[in-house]
Amino acid sequence: MSFTASNDQQIAEALGDLSKLPNTMKMAATNGIEESFEPVPPPNGGDWLAQHKERGQTMESFQQTSSKAIPHGTHKTIYIQPVGSFDHPRAPPLDVIVEFAKIFFSGCVIELLPTVDFTKDMRKRDGSGGPQYLTGDFHNYLVQTRSQRDTRRELLCVAVTMADIYPGDGWNFVYGQARSTDGVGVYSFARLDPLFYRATSEEILQTPLTEEHRIILLRRCIKILLHEIGHLFGLKHCIYYVCLMNGANNETEMDRQPLYLCPVCLCKLHSTLQFDVEHLYETFANLCDEYELETECSWYQKRLEYIH
């Protein structure tokens, strides 16, 4: 499948009419773009774009998408539902990851639910790193248990798990999968550990987390959660720039996804959440600084200079 990077005209068309945006958003979408955003590199054989045809989602097609989350009335809460044990020496800190989502999805309330166990309805198969669970059964579970949550507040519900997941026969795994029509999603931390492809699950359990791996793991966990929730807000995979919303098939692609949205995706999320981009960038930069995500902190600080 051949992929050609978008040219300036295609990107301008994808952005659409910016004239009604607040000044800071106009600047965020147009100033210093070449300095801050990279074009999508040509895909290698195993990469997402070599295997999936992505036509790109313009601002106009985003606005016409009907199955997307839009906070309304009391419905502003994104529930995060941990499934299965997180009692693992290398488990990522859910409370920290939630803090990043709180800032990114401005105006929404993010609530971490108490952990529940896998149910007998969640189908599994044997995978290389232990049992692998079917994503659709997590989606079904979240839909079926909706009445146990606060239905007046719920906007979305996303399951997170340390188990490996797959979406169906013919797939080896997925990092996460969203079901927009029901406002639910699931994502797995299993393959985010830098040791996943390099050691057995027993070896991983016995290996202390180094500082370097702690940062890599945290960064990957945050970006996958934000990416999955981004899908539930109606954002499809991005083909315009290297962006949080790029599809990822492997570790290299996942690590290339940055922790920020390109101008096209930023405008989409802004049209729904109407955030103050300057405030969002400032608070996100501060949080990155607090948790030692240095590359991300300096990216956001640099972008702020283009918005002031």
Residues contributing to the site for Zn ion (CB under 5 A):
238, 243, 245, 262, 265
Residue 9 Cα distances to 5, 62, 219, 265, angstroms: 12, 18, 33, 16
Please tell me the distance from the alpha carbon of residue 206 to that of residue 220, in angstroms, as a whole number.
Answer: 21
Least separation in angstroms between CB 181 and Zn ion:
16
Nearer to Zn ion, 119 or 171 (CB): 171
Nearer to Zn ion, 100 or 291 (CB): 100
CA angle 200, 206, 209 (to 5 degrees): 100
Nearer to Zn ion, 133 or 240 (CB): 240
Nearer to Zn ion, 90 or 303 (CB): 303
Nearer to Zn ion, 265 or 293 (CB): 265
Nearer to Zn ion, 218 or 262 (CB): 262
As given in the structure block, the two tokens for residue 158 are 């996303």
Among 137, 141, 136, 173, which residue's Cα sits nearest to residue 157?
A: 141
Residues with Cβ < 8 Å from 194, sequence gap 6 or more? 213, 216, 217
Least separation in angstroms between CB 27 and Zn ion:
17
Least separation in angstroms between CB 237 and Zn ion:
6
239 and 222 in contact (C-beta within 8 Å)? no
Please tell me the distance from the alpha carbon of residue 164 to that of residue 257, in angstroms, as a whole number.
Answer: 20
Least separation in angstroms between CB 41 and Zn ion:
15
Residues with Cβ < 8 Å from 273, sequence gap 6 or more? 71, 105, 106, 107, 108, 233
Least separation in angstroms between CB 269 and Zn ion:
10
278 and 242 in contact (C-beta within 8 Å)? no
Least separation in angstroms between CB 34 and Zn ion:
15
